[in-house]
Amino acid sequence: MRFGVGNVGRGLAAAALLTGVATGCGEAGRGTEASPGKATAETAEAAETAGVAARGGSIGADGSACELPVTFDIAESWTAEAVDAAVQKSDTGDELTDELADELADALLRQGPVTMACEVDAKPAGNIGFLRVWTGEPGDADARAVLEQFVAAESGASGAEYRSFGAGGLHGAEVEYVTTSEVLEETKKERALAVTTTDGPVVLHLGGMDTEEHEEMLPAFELAKSTLKATA
């Protein structure tokens, strides 16, 4: 299981206790761009029936919790927080300690060709897991290639099944796969999609503590996917 079933900042802070380095991640407590009223029972029921979560806000645009190359809606009660990989660089004055801390941060915040830029937390909605957004540098790599590299960098990943998709004028690739933890001796489902923009590739990844949590959160992934578009 990736070191990611929990807030990235807390994970880094816990690891920092082992190395004597204080680390952080983004600005704690930031919410979604908007805080609309609670969706009606009828709206939530309709969304659930359609396999798409009820909308709780939008992120990606300037001024939102996470400013990204794309915008999309997030599920009701989920909360978004920006992740700034640059602030993870350690400067304690101890070269070995700083090197170890930087390697840890890089391992947690970078996967294949992309770096974590935002995480949307499902805990306020009653699930344990995140919808995470990863971004990369502009270039000519296509979405499928980026996604393949992302999955290849996932520890214990196997059984990847890819397909094409389009939304909001964007065209990309989607993948379903499983990861197996040798330590925990368990396998769980994962899902991700990738698109390319003029500002670089973007990957949306949905994990979860286990397969049951993952499947319960799929409507939130479908909401993000169906509302995805390039940031104006």
| 184 in any annotated domain | yes
CATH number of the domain residue 207 falls in? 3.40.1000.10
User: Whose CA is closest to 64, among 77, 81, 76?
Assistant: 81
Dist CA 205 CA 8 (whole Å) = 14
Q: Which residues contact 96 (CB under 8 A, 6 or more apart)?
A: none
User: Whose CA is closest to 207, among 228, 181, 231, 227?
Assistant: 181
| 136 in any annotated domain | yes
Structure tokens at 116: 């974590």
Q: Domain count for the chain, please give it.
A: 1
| 185 in any annotated domain | yes
**pLDDT by residue, tens only, the chain of 232 residues:** 333 334 444 444 333 333 332 233 333 333 333 333 433 344 344 444 448 999 999 999 999 999 999 999 999 999 999 998 776 565 666 666 656 655 666 678 999 999 999 999 999 999 999 999 999 999 998 999 999 999 999 999 999 999 999 999 999 999 999 999 888 789 999 999 999 999 999 999 999 999 999 999 999 999 999 999 999 8
Q: What is the value of pTM for the model shown?
A: 0.76
Provide the domain limits for residue 115: 55-84+111-230
| 164 in any annotated domain | yes
Dist CA 113 CA 176 (whole Å) = 19
Dist CA 46 CA 150 (whole Å) = 34
